[in-house]
């Protein structure tokens, strides 16, 4: 089933940061779409196949930013 995860991303300061985080998230197996908003420091991630929030957070961390699950 399709799932949706909201992350809070910190450490982004320019539009290129946004692109880096989106690319990192979209490379995670099972991610269908990732949209990052710099102003609100959030990411909306659509996934298939039970991708864990921890896998998404790890991908963002490896890209050099910090993430946690929203809410």
Can you give the binding site for ligand 9UX, defined by CB under 6 A? 13-14, 16-17
Cβ of residue 10: shortest distance to ligand 9UX, in angstroms? 12
Instruction: Decide whether 36 or 51 has the Cβ nearer to ligand 9UX.
Output: 36
Instruction: Decide whether 9 or 56 has the Cβ nearer to ligand 9UX.
Output: 9
Instruction: Decide whether 28 or 66 has the Cβ nearer to ligand 9UX.
Output: 66
Report how far residue 22's alpha carbon sits from residue 36's, in angstroms, rounded to the nearest whole number.
Answer: 6
Strand order in the sheet with 2-10: 31-37, 42-48, 2-10, 66-69
CA atoms within 13 A on the CB side of 71: 8
């Amino acid at each position: 089933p399709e799932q949706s995860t909201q992350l809070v991303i910190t450490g982004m300061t320019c539009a290129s940061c946004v692109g880096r985080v989106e690319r990192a998230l979209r490379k995670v197996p099972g991610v269908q779409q990732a949209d990052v908003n710099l102003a609100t420091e959030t990411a909306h991630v659509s996934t298939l196949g039970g991708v864990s929030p921890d896998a998404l957070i790890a991908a963002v961390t490896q890209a050099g930013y910090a993430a946690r699950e929203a809410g």
